[in-house]
Every structure is written in structure tokens, then in C-alpha cells.
Amino acid sequence: MSREISLGARDADVLSDADKRVAANRQAILDHFRALERGDVRGALATFAPDMINHRMEPGSAPGRDGLAQTLAVVLQCFPSATWHIESIVADAENVVAKLVVEGEAHDVIMGVRAVGQRVTWRHIHWFRMSDGKIVEHDAIRDDRGLLRQLGMNVRGPHPGGLGGGLLGGAHAGGPGTGDRDPALTA
């Protein structure tokens, strides 16, 4: 997990209201990813407003926090013991952006591909908009192509994204340019 900063009671007294809001926003996102690492969907959703806007909803998902709960349940089913390494996090009074890497064994069906315990590294960047201590909007860029390559797929052309999205192409035979880190992040 990332480096953590805790504020003592004396430190909190000298912070402005805006600084306290920034620290609280940052902490809410750290808590979200810690809960995911524990496999705790309820904890991961604790700070999300019920009517939050999720720009990366899975097709057929319910709107708001309920739809996000469905998506997170799929992610945790596919990556039950993954680690969520936060590489960097930037926060202000309204926005939080986190760059992270999810690492672990992949299981079940991911984006139409059957995973059978392959060790994978999946890069993400998440943006959250906060209001009154709640996450009201979320967007993300995930390296889905890099993940699929690690699962043995030869991914070419536009990829629709989403954990349940279909794929074009066939089985991957290996070769150059198929590393686990794809610099072209796709949503």
C-alpha cells in the first residue's frame, strides 16, 4: 500500500478548513482502496454517495453506488487476494486522483476471458470528485489491454473496456511487445 500520513490532534488544530477537507478527501480514497484490498465491498463503498455518477459503469449495471457495488464485486471475485499499491495520490478540496497498480492472481472470467490463476499487474488511474465528504463522481483509466495480454489474449483494435466487455482477436502466442505493462492506457 502507499505511504500514509496521519495527522495528530495538534496538527489538525493548525490546519485551515480547506486543508482539513483536502486531508479528509485523501484519507477517504486511501480507505476505499484499503477496503478493496481486504475484500470488503461495503467498506469500499462507505464514502460513496448513493446517487454518485460512475463514468466506468459496467453494461447493464444499476446506476449510482449500487452499480459500483456490482462492479467491485466482480473485481474482487476475479482478484480475491490482490494487492492495491497506490503509487501516488493528489488531492484538493474537491478532487482526488490516485495512480495505482493491482497485483495478484486472476481468477474467473475477466472481460470475456477465463483466467486460471495467472499472476497479473493491472495499472489504474482513478479520479474522484468529492462533495461534503462524499464521493459524488468517479472516472478511471485502466490498462485493460495490458491485463488481457497477461491473460494470453492478442488484443488489437479498439477495445470496448469494461470487465464484461467482449474481445476481438484470438489466443495469444507470445512474442515481442507483449509485456505486462502497456503504455497505452485504455478505459
Indicate the pairing of strand 48-54 with strand 134-142: parallel
pLDDT for position 154: 86
Whole-number Å distance between alpha carbons of 116 and 108 = 7
pLDDT for position 62: 93
pLDDT for position 167: 31
| Domains of the chain listed by start with CATH number | 9-150 (3.10.450.50)
- Look up residue 105 and give its amino acid: E
Q: What is the DSSP letter of 4?
A: -
CA separation, residue 17 to residues 8, 11, 20, 21, 151 (Å): 16, 13, 5, 6, 47
pLDDT of 4-48, one tens digit each? 555 555 565 678 999 999 999 999 999 999 999 999 999 999 999
pTM value surpassing 0.75 = yes
- Segments of the chain scoring below 70 in pLDDT: 1-13, 157-187
